[in-house]
Structure 1
């Protein structure tokens, strides 16, 4: 059977390699067992998937989009041209696996193009604020936010990319238990100019080293998400990757730098909020303590703030793919009619080949250096 993120030529069951993991799955988002119940809500995820359960998205058509629309705020009304740059396995919100796409953006909205004035200079009111996780002295857990990374106009433009390409229930390279991920998504990769400029804005506020590995940059893959009323993301830990970028001809994707980099932080950028856009609910819960679980009521909750990003360590604890500093988090339920809009990008650090050994073995595809 195939197991999760990134499809696989050589199948590996992480639970057999790492007994501490509670489920026989290589999911890049680790489900959290609810300690208040004797049987986990995600027990059914530890199963094989028969070939007939696989679903294929027609690569010649626009993804099937959730019909809920949001008012466009950006004055930049340019049409977003895009193409399919990679077809891969992934998962749906109901837990089924399938095949779908990652998109390349031919030209970013003008407001996001450095040649049209998108600056790599840190915004004047940009500031980092640490989140107290109330852990023990030697804990490696880390979470913080950087406020006002993007201006409201820039945040609107990022959202417009996803809106024009189209959201879908399918998430490329990831598979989660039924009901855990409840958003619609769209994954895109830019040519690097936008991503690199964002990195220049925030690099001085990022940890310069984690576990002795030096900061490198941002993966150029952006996972955009939309949560309509009643939708949420239940407690989980984000998985790690090797990072992505476009090939030289911009027709495909490849690893950011082979085995030389690895992701260690998730960055969630909020693209709308309650102050400007009428959003109700939809905050991000960061669970406190050394060993929290999904039933914990001890957490910090960040309400969506347009242009602000929240950062936290990721990777499956106890495995060669992760670390003991991974932070459990959840997306609170959207309580209003305005969809919650956000986008995730990963922060890259130096790596040695052995750091990515397990990832390669459970990969559905091999990247070139």
Structure 2
């Protein structure tokens, strides 16, 4: 067990991890972290939902989902875990994902506090299914260094994940399935990032560009559906890295 500041972390699973230019790395770790105190309690943050025009597809962002201090804690924790080329359990063709990754699971309390802030702003039903009462507790974190890019793609849908009662094993939840990607930006242009916008592609070669901003969460449809939003994490032009977390929003 290791520590980052006051947050302990340790491996709970390992998978083949796909590499940016093809191939895979065996035994790529997925961590668990004691993050009960990473989110401040009882915050009244000035949330603002902005709906985006991406044809008839669902996409929007919500600002001020986390504070800069909370974002800094997550960055420090994941840097202590260690970013690497391999992304566990993710399959991408050569040259699509050019960044570094670390995947981990947080504490129930962290996700309860996070979800309570913005749950009321999400679609309560999609495709006839109801919004689930929990977020998936697996965070797929990505660090984009200079010249890194995630070329145009759509995201797959996933089951939810959490930890067992003794917090030493990753569990796949039976029943709920993700329908929305949540991209949580942990820093942004105000931090010195150059480039790194997320492009969401609509019909007829149209697109909307969303700037990274600390505490901003971008939501859009994913999975094997015509409503899934093609998107791109554009190239980082400067020497300040971009940090972003993918969290899956579940329906059941």
For this structure pair, what is the TM-score category when the shorter chain's length is used for normalisation?
A: over 0.9
CA-to-aligned-CA distance 1:215-262 (integer Å, 9 cap, x gap): 012100011111111110000000111110001111111113x1x200
1:267 maps to 2:165: no
The root-mean-square deviation of aligned C-alpha atoms, in Å, is: 1.7
**TM-score w.r.t. length of structure 2:** 0.94
Task: Give the C-alpha shift of residue 121 in structure 1.
Answer: 4.9
1:301 maps to 2:209: yes
1:218 maps to 2:120: no
Matched positions, count:
249
1:313 maps to 2:228: no
Residue number in structure 1 paired with 2:201: 287
Task: Give the C-alpha shift of residue 90 in structure 1.
Answer: 2.8
The answer to whether the 8 A contact 1:120-1:201 is kept is no
Separation in structure 1 between the aligned mates of residue 242 and residue 118 of structure 2, nearest angstrom: 23
Which 4+ stretches in 1 moved above 3 angstroms?
Answer: none
> Secondary structure in 2 aligned to 1:243?
strand
Residue number in structure 2 paired with 1:87: 14
> Secondary structure in 1 aligned to 2:7?
coil
> Secondary structure in 2 aligned to 1:264?
strand
Separation in structure 2 between the aligned mates of residue 313 and residue 346 of structure 1, nearest angstrom: 10
Task: Give the C-alpha shift of residue 200 in structure 1.
Answer: 0.8
1:335 maps to 2:237: yes
Residue number in structure 2 paired with 1:165: 81
Residue number in structure 2 paired with 1:133: 54
The answer to whether the 8 A contact 1:220-1:244 is kept is yes
The answer to whether the 8 A contact 2:101-2:141 is kept is yes
Separation in structure 2 between the aligned mates of residue 199 and residue 109 of structure 1, nearest angstrom: 14
> Secondary structure in 1 aligned to 2:97?
coil
Separation in structure 2 between the aligned mates of residue 341 and residue 120 of structure 1, nearest angstrom: 25
Larger Rg computed on CA atoms: 1
Task: Give the C-alpha shift of residue 98 in structure 1.
Answer: 2.8
Separation in structure 2 between the aligned mates of residue 180 and residue 122 of structure 1, nearest angstrom: 39
Task: Give the C-alpha shift of residue 108 in structure 1.
Answer: 2.1
Question: What is the aligned counterpart of 2:41 among 107, 119, 125?
Answer: 119
The answer to whether the 8 A contact 1:283-1:332 is kept is yes
Task: Give the C-alpha shift of residue 120 in structure 1.
Answer: 5.4
Residue number in structure 2 paired with 1:186: 102
**TM-score w.r.t. length of structure 1:** 0.65
The answer to whether the 8 A contact 2:36-2:107 is kept is no
Task: Give the C-alpha shift of residue 182 in structure 1.
Answer: 0.7
